[in-house]
Structure 1
């Protein structure tokens, strides 16, 4: 399976969609579309993993669209946020992408005060983000949206 990879100068995130959280539910717009995401994070040698239902199929599609937009220039929105605040993607004016981790996706000890840079990865804006968007779409091919869309116009 293709891994969605984000590589910074001293940090990285490798992300994989593992499964639907509720594989037997197909007709509920929300519960049918929660995805279990597995991540491997390395921030300056501090490594951890997480496995949590922190994105929906439609949020992952939105992230792929947003990553493509960021890779080609300044995005129309500076951040890509989700229902569950475990992951946050934020475009910075210095042409970097900051990926932040919280709650179940955060580093061990995240419940205690930690420096912001100890729970975020900085990635340069480049064509590698378009590659990450393609990798994410490939993974979503195995996990298409199910049931009625909770987003108007979709």
Structure 2
């Protein structure tokens, strides 16, 4: 899909489930793909007994990547001009994440978006902004 100027206006909202029931396997696969083997994400004993967390949790960049996929699925590949986030909470195995993208401004050739990815309890885990190029 490619987002066109006539497709959106300020206030247009799109929602996408980016992961349903995140698995430990997905977290470990991301560790392998990224090279980030921090034991907080891969070693249950370390995460619980050394670091004091309830268990392993997902990499922030995995959550950002899933959020980014929701963006490019909407605006089109190669259309994302900027994308930045803040990490607000951990993402745990079993979580379901939904990304909500809201148009905040429409320009002649681009669109600005606010992005929020929340878990199944409605807790924001990633918030951010993006700008995407519009097709004429």
TM-score by length of 2: 0.26
TM-score, length basis structure 1: 0.24
Task: Identify the structure with the greater helix proportion.
Answer: 2
Highest RCO, 1 vs 2 (Cα 8 Å, sep ≥ 6): 2
